[in-house]
Amino acid sequence: IPVFRTSYTNHIYGPGHNSFTVSEDGKTDLLVYHARNYTEITGDPLYDPNRHTRVQPIHWREDGMPDFGVPVEENRTMHA
């Protein structure tokens, strides 16, 4: 079961190749990934060169497991 997937509501498709880092102040865990803002592609979606780099905070559940949420919409300012 994927833990982070396309958000049709936010129009963010094909998120993948995730990495993890920490905000500059060291207080917020961040998810770095790439995704595209359109669904119409030709060929294999894993080889689409038009996915753009994105970053958003990771939240943590009470049981200690990460909650990646959904890809946030474009042009949203994130504060860590």
Instruction: For residue range 34-53, list pLDDT tens digits in order.
Output: 999 988 877 776 676 778 89
| Residue-range definition of the domain harbouring residue 39 | 13-67
The gap from C-alpha 62 to its chain's centroid, in whole angstroms, comes to: 21
User: Domain for residue 53, yes or no?
Assistant: yes
What is the reported pTM?
A: 0.82
Three-state secondary structure call for residue 40: coil
User: Domain for residue 8, yes or no?
Assistant: no
Domain tally, the chain: 1
Q: Which residue has the higher pLDDT, 50 or 28?
A: 28
User: Domain for residue 73, yes or no?
Assistant: no
User: Domain for residue 63, yes or no?
Assistant: yes
| DSSP output for 48-80 | -TTPEEEEEE-EE-TTS-EE---PPPTT-----
Over pLDDT 70: what percentage of the chain?
91
pLDDT of 65 strictly over 80: yes
pLDDT value at residue 40: 82
User: Domain for residue 75, yes or no?
Assistant: no
User: Domain for residue 50, yes or no?
Assistant: yes
Q: Which residue has the higher pLDDT, 23 or 48?
A: 23
pLDDT of 26 strictly over 90: yes
The C-alpha atoms of residue 24 and residue 5 are separated, in whole angstroms, by 26
